[in-house]
A and B are shown apart, each in its own frame.
Chain A
Amino acid sequence: MIYLDYMATTPVDKSVFDAMKPFLMTEGVFANPASIHPPGQTAMQAVQGATDQAAACLGVNAASLVWTSGATESINLALKGACEFYGRTRKHIITTQIAHKSELAVCEYLATQGFEVTYLSPTPEGIITPEAFEVACREDTLLASVMLVNNEVGTIQPVSALARIAKSRGILFHTDASQALGKIPIDINTLGCDLLSLSGHKAYGPKGVGLLYVRDKPVLRLAPQIHGGGHQHQLRSGTLPTHQIVGMAAAMALATAQLNEAPKAMHSLRDQFWDVIKKLPNTHLNHSFASSVPHCLNVHFEHIDAEVLMLSLNELAFSAGSACNAASFAPSHVLMAMGKTRLAASESVRFSFGRFSTLNEIAAAAAMISECVATLQAMLP
Chain B
Amino acid sequence: MNYSGKVLDLLRNPQHAGCLVGSDVVSGEANAAQNGEHVRFFLIISRGVIKHVAYEVKGRVVTRALCEYLAASLNDIKCEEALGIIAQDFLSLLSLNKLYIHALLLVRDAAQRALDSWRIANGKAENTKKIKDN
A327–B97 CA distance with the chains assembled, in angstroms: 7
Complex contact B39–A325 (CB within 8 A): no
Complex contact A307–B1 (CB within 8 A): yes
Q: Are A381 and B12 CB-contacts (below 8 A) given A324-B1, A326-B1?
A: no
A327–B102 CA distance with the chains assembled, in angstroms: 12
Distance in Å: Cβ of B94 to nearest Cβ of chain A: 14
Contact with A along B38-49 (1 / 0, CB 8 A): 111000000000
Contacts of A311 in B (CB 8 A): 3, 8, 11-12, 61
Q: Are A329 and B60 CB-contacts (below 8 A) given A307-B1, A311-B3, A311-B8?
A: yes
Contact with B along A283-295 (1 / 0, CB 8 A): 0000000000000
Pick from B35, B56, B60, B64: contact of A381, CB below 8 A.
Answer: B56
In the complex, B85 has a CB within 8 A of chain A: no
Contacts of A346 in B (CB 8 A): 35
Residue of B nearest to A303 (CB): B58
Distance in Å: Cβ of A381 to nearest Cβ of chain B: 4
Q: Which residues of A contact B (CB under 8 A)?
A: 303, 305, 307-308, 311-312, 314, 324-329, 343, 346, 378-381
Pick from B2, B35, B60: contact of A308, CB below 8 A.
Answer: B60
Complex contact B40–A381 (CB within 8 A): yes
Query: How many residue pairs bridge A and B at CB < 8 Å?
Result: 52
Pick from A305, A328, A381: contact of B29, CB below 8 A.
Answer: A381
Pick from B36, B57, B60: contact of A379, CB below 8 A.
Answer: B57
Contacts of B2 in A (CB 8 A): 326
14 pairs, CB–CB < 8 Å, chain A vs chain B: A307-B1, A307-B61, A308-B59, A308-B61, A311-B3, A311-B12, A312-B11, A329-B1, A346-B35, A378-B17, A379-B57, A379-B58, A381-B40, A381-B58
The A-contacting residues of B in range 24-42, CB under 8 angstroms, are: 29, 35-36, 38-40
A328–B35 CA distance with the chains assembled, in angstroms: 12
Complex contact B12–A312 (CB within 8 A): yes
A325–B97 CA distance with the chains assembled, in angstroms: 12
> Which of A307, A308, A314 has the most B CB atoms < 10 Å from its CB?
A308
Contacts of B29 in A (CB 8 A): 381
The A-contacting residues of B in range 1-21, CB under 8 angstroms, are: 1-3, 8, 11-12, 14, 17-18
In the complex, B99 has a CB within 8 A of chain A: yes
Distance in Å: Cβ of A325 to nearest Cβ of chain B: 7
A302–B11 CA distance with the chains assembled, in angstroms: 19
Distance in Å: Cβ of A328 to nearest Cβ of chain B: 8
Contacts of B1 in A (CB 8 A): 307, 324-326, 329
Residue of A nearest to B31 (CB): A381
Complex contact B58–A378 (CB within 8 A): no
Residue of B nearest to A379 (CB): B17
The A-contacting residues of B in range 42-75, CB under 8 angstroms, are: 56-61, 64
A379–B57 CA distance with the chains assembled, in angstroms: 6
A380–B58 CA distance with the chains assembled, in angstroms: 5
Q: Are A343 and B38 CB-contacts (below 8 A) given A311-B12, A380-B58?
A: no
Distance in Å: Cβ of B104 to nearest Cβ of chain A: 14
Contacts of B61 in A (CB 8 A): 305, 307-308, 311
Contacts of B36 in A (CB 8 A): 343
Distance in Å: Cβ of A338 to nearest Cβ of chain B: 19
Contacts of A378 in B (CB 8 A): 17-18
A380–B60 CA distance with the chains assembled, in angstroms: 12
Residue of B nearest to A310 (CB): B61
Complex contact A381–B3 (CB within 8 A): no
Contacts of A303 in B (CB 8 A): 58
Pick from B3, B14, B56, B99: contact of A380, CB below 8 A.
Answer: B56
Contacts of B97 in A (CB 8 A): 326-327
Distance in Å: Cβ of A318 to nearest Cβ of chain B: 16
Distance in Å: Cβ of B43 to nearest Cβ of chain A: 15
Residue of B nearest to A327 (CB): B99
Contacts of A312 in B (CB 8 A): 11-12
> Which of A305, A314, A328, A346 has the most B CB atoms < 10 Å from its CB?
A305
Complex contact B11–A381 (CB within 8 A): no
Complex contact A307–B60 (CB within 8 A): yes
Residue of A nearest to B100 (CB): A327
Contacts of A307 in B (CB 8 A): 1, 60-61
